[in-house]
Amino acid sequence: MKEKESIPKNNINDIWFIMFYSLALFGSYLLTTPLSYSHGNLLKVFVFLVSLMNILRIPLFNKIQSCKLIFSLMILLISILSFLRTGNFIIISFSLLLIGSTNIDFHLIVKVYFFTALVTLIIVFLCAKKGIIANFDSIGKNGQIVHAYGSIYYTNFAAHIFYIVLAYSLLKKFEFNYLDYIITFLISFWLIFKYTTRLDGYLVFILLLTIIFKKKLFTLLANKLVKKVMIIIPIFLIFLELLLCVTYKYNGIYYELDKIFSNRLSQSYIGFNNYSIKLFGQQIQMQGYGGVSAAQHAFVKYFYLDSSFVQLLLIEGLVFFVLILVLLFYNNYKFLNKNAYILCISLLLVTISSLVDENLIFVAYNFTLLATFANVDKFSVRKDENSKELFI
């Protein structure tokens, strides 16, 4: 009599991750919708529990290096201390999913993200169109009414689209066919000119250009000097933005830049003037244009810190801000060291997005930092011995 074949340990490990990461992602996405007002606490408990279950996978199916364990505990401790001061649940969900991605193939992470985020976006979009959940209206850049399609604000909906397109591009390893090019261009055109979300529209267009010229970019990034420069570019951009915010003046080049970035520099300047930087963060009351309070804006003064890095420094605190800088630097170094150039390009686009938007540590949007403890070898560029061309 034949013995029953047991399921390989690696398969159980992957299935466990897929199940609980997709559930955490689904719950996190719903927290970016109007359901966060009516069922926010329930969704947070749900995301916390499934993220915790994902971490339990690690000691059951994995051998953890001592350095990874120490770094993971440090991330968890800093996140808890920052959460206790700010009450920001995003910090906890981010750290749990970051640690929970240990020893997982990053290609699998991207795949789960893409399908879960896409399906959830479609469901939420249809529910908003049918009136099942609120479909908030806002005034776009050209003065026309734009819908949030189930998101709290219309720029959040655009951000979901950008990250889904980015995930799709990574799954295709920047190898697009004609249909991919056409669809991506149309998405970019719609976001910029019809939906008036310039940031995400331009990012999708820049992504499209990098895919078109990927071979030249790969050759350029293979250069040792260029690699050294690329490692520091994200950190340089972050500190440049913070410098502009702190030294902002209501005239000259500052004023012109502020108009381009929709008053983000002046708003951040107000933030730095009114609040000091704390080690583990503080609660800051902000008033934006989205959500259920949108109708009150005629009577309530607008104040919002849109930049992820300004929020991290002023709200989450100096220690958590430094932690994120370390993660960005480490992942960038890791991608370049592994010749995973498309991941390096993706992280740069995410950094640019995060200079303007607040989505860097929102797991419903940004998946790139989950590569920290994951395996990225499938994205490494290799050289064909015969043609000498670079390929993934």
pLDDT tens-digit readout, 205-228: 999 999 999 999 999 999 999 999
The answer to whether 164 and 118 are in contact (CB under 8 A) is yes
Would you call 32 exposed, middle or buried from its count of C-beta atoms within 10 A (0-12, 13-18, 19+)? buried
Amino acid of residue 109: I
Average pLDDT, the chain: 92
User: What is the CB neighbour count within 10 angstroms for residue 138?
Assistant: 16
Residue 128's pLDDT band (boundaries 50, 70, 90)? very high
By C-alpha distance, which of 179, 255, 235, 168 is closest to 207?
168
For residue 336 the two structure tokens come to: 């370049």
**pLDDT value at 387 more than 80:** no
Helix or strand (DSSP H, E) at 137: strand 137-139
Residue 3's pLDDT band (boundaries 50, 70, 90)? very low
User: What is the CB neighbour count within 10 angstroms for residue 31?
Assistant: 21
Residue 1's pLDDT band (boundaries 50, 70, 90)? very low
Residue 293's pLDDT band (boundaries 50, 70, 90)? low
pLDDT of residue 384: 60
Q: Distances in Å between the alpha carbon of 108 and those of 102, 166, 258, 317, 392?
A: 12, 15, 40, 32, 16
The answer to whether 29 and 359 are in contact (CB under 8 A) is no
Residue 302's pLDDT band (boundaries 50, 70, 90)? confident
Q: What percent of the chain has pLDDT over 90?
A: 84
pLDDT of residue 63: 82
Q: Distances in Å between the alpha carbon of 347 and those of 199, 221, 344, 366?
A: 16, 14, 5, 10
For residue 234 the two structure tokens come to: 């994200």
**pLDDT value at 284 more than 90:** yes
pLDDT tens-digit readout, 68-109: 999 999 999 999 999 999 999 999 999 999 999 999 999 999
**pLDDT value at 30 more than 70:** yes
User: What is the CB neighbour count within 10 angstroms for residue 322?
Assistant: 13
By C-alpha distance, which of 137, 142, 174 is closest to 342?
174
**pLDDT value at 14 more than 60:** yes
**pLDDT value at 385 more than 60:** no
Mean pLDDT of 145-158: 94
The answer to whether 67 and 90 are in contact (CB under 8 A) is no
pLDDT of residue 388: 54
The answer to whether 164 and 366 are in contact (CB under 8 A) is no
Q: How far apart are CA 25 and CA 46, in angstroms?
A: 11
Q: What percent of the chain has pLDDT over 70?
A: 93
Tokens 């009577």 belong to residue: 299
* Lowest-confidence region among 2-11, 33-42, 302-311, 316-325: 2-11
- 3-state SS, residue 146: strand
Would you call 301 exposed, middle or buried from its count of C-beta atoms within 10 A (0-12, 13-18, 19+)? exposed
pLDDT of residue 214: 95
**Rounded to the nearest 5°, which phi and psi values hold at 209?**
-65, -40
Kind of pairing between the strands at 137-139 and 382-383: unpaired
pLDDT tens-digit readout, 188-211: 999 999 999 999 999 999 999 999
pLDDT tens-digit readout, 232-277: 999 999 999 999 999 999 999 999 999 999 899 999 999 999 999 9
pLDDT tens-digit readout, 104-116: 999 999 999 999 9
Mean pLDDT of 20-41: 97
pLDDT of residue 295: 44
Q: How far apart are CA 342 and CA 112, in angstroms?
A: 18
- Rg (C-alpha) for the chain, rounded Å, is 21
**pLDDT value at 143 more than 90:** no
* DSSP-H helix ranges across the chain: 9-30, 35-61, 66-86, 89-100, 106-129, 154-171, 178-189, 198-212, 214-221, 224-246, 252-260, 264-274, 308-311, 318-337, 341-356
**pLDDT value at 43 more than 90:** yes
Q: What is the pTM of this model?
A: 0.94
